[in-house]
Chains A and B, each alone.
Chain A
Amino acid sequence: MKPRVLVVDDDAALAEMLGIVLRTEGFDPAFVADGSRAQAAFEEFKPDIVLLDLMLPGMNGLEVCRAIRATSGTPIVMLTAKTDTVDIVLGLEQGADDYVVKPFKPKELIARMRARLRQHEDVPAETLTIGPAEDPVHIDVLAHQVVRGGRPIALTPLEFDLLVALARKPRQVLTRELLLEQVWGYRHAADTRLVNVHVQRLRSKVERDPENPEVVLTVRGVGYRAGAA
């Protein structure tokens, strides 16, 4: 089955060109030009991945991102013309998984999309436990479930992958570059803010006190590691 892509972009020419490229690459694209209709289109089309332009009429791209993220963990890749770092960080904080900066090459975009869709294929049955011994975090990799203190925690696929990548190597420090490669699928070092922002989002869900993390620990100047179980 072809992966479904919802393209939220107001530029007709770009949307049409994206359609051509996506179909060539074996995707099933759908388009919406107005930000305010994005949420409805999302629920109707049930895409596997969303391509979202940050500058949209009707509703700001950031708001669309927040709205989708409120109900779903579907991967969102921002198409951004802004290289101003603040805008990118804002988008990531609203829950976007990744971004490509315009003008991007089609191969680059497809690689980013495939990296986000590559997940959940032949995952071994595995359970992992990390965090403080008195209140650990249990991860069922196959069932895609995270439980802490008897309550399930809802994570986006990206956050889940990030947590699993850390949990599989407990006590070992993973550099941001390594995480970018394992979780985001970047071959070369890319924007390490992706890691920083998503670690923050992950912490806000799994930590008891995100200010004093016990599950995902920062190793200053190096990277992150999982707290011992």
Chain B
Amino acid sequence: MTGPRSSSRRTPRADGAALTHQDRWLAGPSRTARLQALPGAITRLWSRSLQIRVAATTLVVTGVFVFVIGVLLVNQISNGVLRAKRAVAVAQANAGLESAQSMLGTISAGDVTGIAPVLRQLSTPNEDTSADSGLYYTSIRAADPTLQRLLATQPEVPDTLRSVVVHGATRTQAIQYAEVRKPGTDTTISALVVGEAVTAPAGSFELYYIFPLTSEQETLALVQRTVLFAGLGLMALIAIIAVLVTRQVVRPMRLVAQTAQRISGGDLSQRVVVRNDDELAVLGRSFNEMAVSLQGQIRRLEELSRLQRRFTSDVSHELRTPLTTVRMATELLHSRREEFPPDVRRSAELLRDELDRFELLLGDLLEISRYDAGVAGLELEPVDVRALVATVVASTNHLAVSQGCEVRVHAPGGPVPAEVDPRRIERVLRNLIGNAIDHSEGRPVDVTVRGRAQAVEVLVRDHGVGLRPGEAGLVFNRFWRGDPSRSRLTGGTGLGLAISLEDARLHGGWLQAWGERGRGALFRLTLPVGPDQPLPAEVPALEPDPNDRDRTDGSAEAASEAALPSADGSRAAVAADASAATGVRAVPVGTS
């Protein structure tokens, strides 16, 4: 009903309304906004408590029902009471009229003195309340003004009724409910008035019987009160029943919900206490069964994980002990290789070199199996990331020299503090920088360290062969090789980047790769500065700075001055870093 009206009102000034609405929105929460919050609170309560919902619904339905029943009941009763009253009143009026007719019939026309006592007697109220009709008043009107004068003050009768009596057909009874002034007082009372015209030789009269409805009204008021209270009582009762009944249902459900929360919180031994044998007990039992099976599953998984860990540890030990013997024997042979004939000497050299590779591979395999078993742990220490980078750059120097490649570190002047596991991060950096040198093809490698508010970034950029499209996602795969035909210079195991990725993840950090054929590759390690400052959920895309392209030309001038590769392309940040860089080859010295 209000829908169309409000929409029709809105349409003509939609623009203006929208504008003011927006202004108000900008100005802050208005009164309407506060008012809108109230239904919100009610809605929240409504949606949160099943008990309130059930009780309210029950109350509304019962209320409507009780109201309708009450109205019908009161109507029925009042109709009945009034019908009975009317029947009695009509009978009484008939009897009265009958006797009035006969009394007036005896008086001849013009006998004023004779008629006076008759009229007086007729107008006397019936005080005999024991009769069926109870108390009633009479009212007589004479058409003749002289006779009318004989009559003392008579109770008033509604004009509408009088006109029916006067102008209606003879011997017609007119009946009306009316508000009549009680004779001798100022109070008006409801009454049933029955009137009829009486024609006698002495003249024509209107005779009215007024039956007060006071006692009937009292009866009806009592009935109404009773129905009202009974209805309210009934509603209260039903509301209480609804609350109690839902409580019986809701309480076990709440209990189950609480238990489920505790279980999800890690306490797998939590169970629901099941009483009785009803549907809720079935729910509780099913829940407990689920919890038992869940606990079993988790125990099995834990057992598997423990076994895996144990296996890793055992394999580690069982393999390493003979390997140590082989290693020592090999070293002994190798140290005396000059004493052997050339073929045996070469064999000793090969044996030692391959043993190195084998050991690296074994170490990496065990490391990655520790990650797979989920038993890798972090040992956090506050460090200066620049120092870690410096250590790694120093340790890879011989490799860089052999490749004729320059490793340039760009780091801010001040420390870049972070709480990390230095052994793991050193390993990641060694992998990234070693890989970069390995693929640099003699072109410089840039290592950039940046401290941000909540994160530390290390970017490793090479300008070598780069990656083919789609390969950036593959480099972290186990045993993935960029170009199988390429000879490996550092003798990597093919697990290095996979382990590095796990190391970064273990810190809650990211390790990302970017590469393009002929433009080189860029790796970015992002680490949170501490374990309590997680990185945002969204990982920003990795793209080198567009200016970066110039440097693939090999122009030394451009290289030393051009912006550093930047993941976010922000020139300002790049410039700040470049100005803070301590020099092309300089390595910041710092201790952790």
Contacts and interface: CB of A to CB of B under 8 A. Distances in A.
Nearest to B327: A103
Given A103-B359, A221-B382, A221-B592, A17 B328 contact: yes
Contact of A105 (B316, B331, B391): B331
Interface string B349-364: 0000000000100000
Interface string A141-178: 00000000000000000000000000000000001010
A33 interface: no
Contacts of B321: 11, 14, 81, 102
A196 to B, nearest CB: 10
B328 A81 contact: no
Interface of A: 11, 13-14, 17-18, 20-21, 24, 55, 79, 81-85, 101-107, 175, 177, 189, 192, 220-222
A106 B332 contact: yes
Find the residue from A21, A81, A106 having the highest chain B CB count within 10 A.
Answer: A81
Interface of B: 313, 316-317, 320-329, 331-332, 359, 366, 375, 377, 379, 381-382, 391, 591-592
Contacts, number: 66
B391 A106 contact: no
B324 A103 contact: yes
Nearest to A175: B591
A103 B326 contact: yes
A42 B365 CA distance: 37
B320 A102 contact: yes
A85 B316 CA distance: 13
A83 B379 CA distance: 14
Contact of B328 (A21, A83, A220, A222): A21
Contact of A82 (B316, B326, B377): B316
Contacts of A192: 381
A189 B473 CA distance: 34
A107 B316 contact: no
Contacts of B331: 21, 105-107
B287 to A, nearest CB: 38
28 contacts: A13-B325, A14-B321, A14-B328, A17-B324, A21-B328, A24-B332, A81-B316, A81-B321, A82-B317, A83-B366, A84-B375, A85-B377, A85-B379, A102-B320, A102-B323, A103-B320, A103-B323, A105-B327, A106-B327, A106-B328, A106-B332, A107-B331, A175-B591, A177-B591, A189-B391, A220-B382, A222-B591, A222-B592
Contacts of B327: 103-106
Nearest to B309: A84
Nearest to B319: A81
A192 B391 CA distance: 15
A102 B359 CA distance: 10
Contacts of B332: 20-21, 24, 106
B313 A18 contact: no
Nearest to B336: A24
Nearest to A101: B320
Given A106-B328, A177-B591, 16 more contacts: A13-B325, A18-B328, A20-B332, A21-B328, A24-B332, A81-B316, A81-B317, A82-B313, A102-B320, A105-B327, A106-B332, A107-B331, A175-B591, A220-B382, A221-B382, A221-B592
3 closest residue pairs by CB, A with B: A81-B317, A102-B320, A81-B320
